Structure 1
Amino acid sequence: MQDGQVPADVAIVGAGPAGAAAALRVLALRPDADVLLLDAAAFPRDKTCGDGISAHVLELLDALGVPATSWAGPPVAGMRLTSPGGRVVARRCARPNRVIPRAVFDARLVAAATAAGARLVQHRVRALRVLADRVVLDDRWSARVVIGADGANSTVRRLLGAPRSPESTVAVAVRGYAPTVLDPDALVIEFAGGRRPAYAWSFPVAGRGSNVGFGVFDRRGGGSRADLLAELARLLPDHPPDPATVRGHQLPLSTGPRWHPDGRVLLAGDAAALVNPLTGEGIYDAVASGALAGRAALRGPDAGAAHRAAMRATFGHHHRHTALLARLVPHPRFLDAAVTAAARHRRVFDAAVDLGLGPGTASAADLVRVASSGLTLGRGSRLT
């Protein structure tokens, strides 16, 4: 960094959905702002993910000025869930979701951010210094505020001294692409039994077969990559992924430490440990938290406090509900009861979708319906 260099208004480390959303929000509020977007990768690039993009995310993108329905591929109207005990619910969602490969989705968001005025630079950030009036990155760039949106293994989070996530609050998963399709109009999820919550998924990708994978919501029970693939094969037989496409990933769940420091450095998305502990979905929280960080970043030295307050107001109720339910999900009988209730009651199904894919909560009435369904387990077989 040269002496006398004028700092950027905002530097964003990581150009995934959280970082791109942050850039879009800053530039929507301040079109003349100098926004620097740094990422180690060149776009388009693949990202290990289930590729499911919920209707909730599409609504956030519309609000950010990025209408995605024109390029998001065909709608996927349904969802099919199978509990460990073989209970099944198959319904159409209130609003259709999409399945968009991350190579496409992320590149579109980055293009929208640069079209709005962000400067995209391919660079891996390794050092950070917080000064009184700016933050310096690698002694090459400086900004009045920095947003760390650099994913599950966030360098910004580590450099700030954030606590490590306990293994019990980190999910592990493998993902690949299969040439076959289980259901072209539904997101298919098969829950596994066992001591730790886990499920396999199959999401149809237009013209490409399916995105398939298996995840365990506790790193202590993840085992090896071979173990995860074996569970995928057990739950989704005759639906194997192409080995060349298989990738592994870790997901910091929102039940772990969520750390939002004061001052000029903010965290968003996976870097802020915001992955849904019920489903492993992180795109909604990434885009929403990125947009909040973008707004707070314009507060300068008060950005951290403003971001923490906005995150608490936006996500606090949702996180309390998902944390409560995450303690129940390891019990197969609870999942059996929940799936049974969703099959019997449309509102329970809709609430489950909103909880798993967006900012939803669980009402007392819906929890009573789940408990009531649990009392009837064993009186019937599969419910659809």
Structure 2
Amino acid sequence: MTTWDLAVVGCGPAGSATAMGALRVDPTLRVVLLDRAEFPRDKACGDGIAPQVVDLLEDAGVRGVVDGHVPVPRLRLDRGAFGVDRTMARPAWVIPRTVFDQRLVEAAQAAGATLRRHRVRELAQPSSVVLDGEVEARTVVGADGAYSTVRRALGLMPGPMAVALRGYAPTPANRANAQVIAFGTAGQPAYAWSFDRGDGLANVGYGELLGHRHDRPTKAQLRERLDVLLPGASDGGTGWKGHQLPLSSGRWRPPTGRILLAGDAAGLVNPMTGEGIYYAVATGFAAGRAAAEALIAGAPASAGARYARATRRLLAGHLRHVAAAAGLSRHHRVIDAGLRASAADQRVFDDLVELGLARGRITPTMARGLARELAGAARRRPVRRRR
């Protein structure tokens, strides 16, 4: 049985970032990437890549991840008859995960990681960590997504869940060069999206917060709800895939010890937008660095504590703010006020994008704009007289 310094379970953005983070600290480490799929492989996702994700990768020496793809400058947010359509401070990209994840896996391999196709089913912890009786590692990072085997082995349960459906369909002219999000007008928090890839196709989909566990919509129902919010968005669509999203809460406490969790496996998906790639790459790099530093210190079991300190500085404040914003956005009046404030002030719009796509916070400008629009809506609302 081969013994590795670090075994990473899952080769999505979080897993590849973990391997690269560790190898940047110590290029001599023996790092193995384990995934049940053969790469390149598809992954259900909105495919939106925020510029902050590209920043993280370039800071780590990873270049060319957006090569050959067209930047998307506009973001349109609609609810019912009202919406806001603005140019973002920095453009985003829409890159299929088949391409994006493959580029990150190749970057991890170029850094020195070994890629193996292996589906992890069991973990045991004698003096080190043993996966399925075949792979032994001094430290392990679970980056194996929403249904994480590593998380279950640690006895941890995911928090609130959302469900989404994604497909690819021809981009109509009125949604070209833009990421379009249409919020639901009734019921639980929900929205449809159409993200133009720049090649004639758009990533289209629909997502909503899951309620009771027995009340799970079918793919057909999700597709119907997509077309209600974005009429015709699914016409000619192919590649429909459903997936679940483990949403983050205001307080996240990573496990201690030599087994870490990153990205979706850690329950890190923005509860306001469903965005998870920024969290995946950021926590992946942090997990890799923490594992490498623990190994260099001769104390693999200290990896969890090191990771907790790093991610507290990175995400603690943001997670509290975005959890508060997500709670507020369950009220339709707040969504409407946020859209009107964004339409009135580019600064509010930019702050909202930063909160939804990276690690922004509720800024004073955003709070003032929201309060102003809520107060204005209250004045416009007719008063009911008692009889």
Q: TM-score range by the shorter chain?
A: over 0.9
The answer as to 2:142 corresponding to 1:148 is: yes
Pairwise CA distance, 1:129: 0.9
Pairwise CA distance, 1:130: 1.4
CA–CA separation in structure 2 for the residues paired with 1:366 and 1:317: 16
Task: Give the aligned residue type for 2:179.
Answer: L
Q: What is aligned with 1:286?
A: 280
The answer as to 2:89 corresponding to 1:107 is: no
Calculate percent identity across the aligned residue pairs.
48
Q: What is aligned with 1:36?
A: 32
The answer as to 2:192 corresponding to 1:197 is: no
Task: Give the aligned residue type for 2:63.
Answer: P
CA–CA separation in structure 1 for the residues paired with 2:82 and 2:379: 12
CA–CA separation in structure 2 for the residues paired with 1:288 and 1:42: 24
| Bigger Cα displacement from structure 2, 212-221 vs 144-153 | 212-221
Q: TM-score, normalised by structure 2?
A: 0.92
Cα distance, 1:350–1:236 mapped onto 2, change above 3 Å: same
Alignment match of 1:253 (pick from 212, 235, 247): 247
Pairwise CA distance, 1:209: 1.0
CA–CA separation in structure 2 for the residues paired with 1:207 and 1:368: 39
State the SS of the aligned residue for 2:105.
helix
The answer as to 2:157 corresponding to 1:170 is: no
CA–CA separation in structure 2 for the residues paired with 1:243 and 1:143: 43
The answer as to 2:310 corresponding to 1:336 is: no
State the SS of the aligned residue for 2:90.
strand
Partners of 1:176 and 1:242 within 8 A in 2: no
Task: Give the aligned residue type for 2:162.
Answer: A
Unaligned runs of at least 5 residues, structure 1:
none
Q: What is aligned with 1:218?
A: 210
Task: Give the aligned residue type for 2:155.
Answer: G
The answer as to 2:89 corresponding to 1:94 is: yes
Q: What is aligned with 1:21?
A: 17
Partners of 1:130 and 1:264 within 8 A in 2: no
CA–CA separation in structure 2 for the residues paired with 1:70 and 1:18: 17
| Correspondence list, 1:1-384, <5 A | 1=1, 5=2, 7-68=3-64, 71=67, 73-83=69-79, 85-132=80-127, 134-165=128-159, 169-181=160-172, 182-220=174-212, 223-242=217-236, 244-255=238-249, 258-298=252-292, 299=294, 300-377=300-377
State the SS of the aligned residue for 1:377.
helix
Q: What is aligned with 2:297?
A: none
Partners of 1:21 and 1:64 within 8 A in 2: no
State the SS of the aligned residue for 1:15.
coil
State the SS of the aligned residue for 1:109.
helix
Partners of 2:168 and 2:202 within 8 A in 1: yes
Pairwise CA distance, 1:331: 0.8
CA–CA separation in structure 2 for the residues paired with 1:376 and 1:22: 47
CA–CA separation in structure 2 for the residues paired with 1:108 and 1:241: 30
Partners of 1:72 and 1:99 within 8 A in 2: no
Task: Give the aligned residue type for 1:344.
Answer: A
Task: Give the aligned residue type for 1:47.
Answer: K
Q: TM-score, normalised by structure 1?
A: 0.93
Q: Residues 221-270 of structure 1: CA distance to partner in whole angstroms, max 9, x if unpaired?
A: 75222221111011111221545411100000002884521111000000
Q: Residues 186-212 of structure 1: CA distance to partner in whole angstroms, max 9, x if unpaired?
A: 110000022311100000113241110
Number of aligned residues: 371
Pairwise CA distance, 1:163: 2.4
Pairwise CA distance, 1:69: 5.6
| Bigger Cα displacement from structure 2, 369-378 vs 188-197 | 369-378
CA–CA separation in structure 2 for the residues paired with 1:86 and 1:150: 40
Cα distance, 1:59–1:10 mapped onto 2, change above 3 Å: same
Pairwise CA distance, 1:377: 3.2
Superposed CA RMSD in Å reads: 1.7
Partners of 2:258 and 2:301 within 8 A in 1: yes
Partners of 2:250 and 2:320 within 8 A in 1: no
Q: Hey, which bits of structure 1, 4+ residues long, moved more than 6 A? A: none
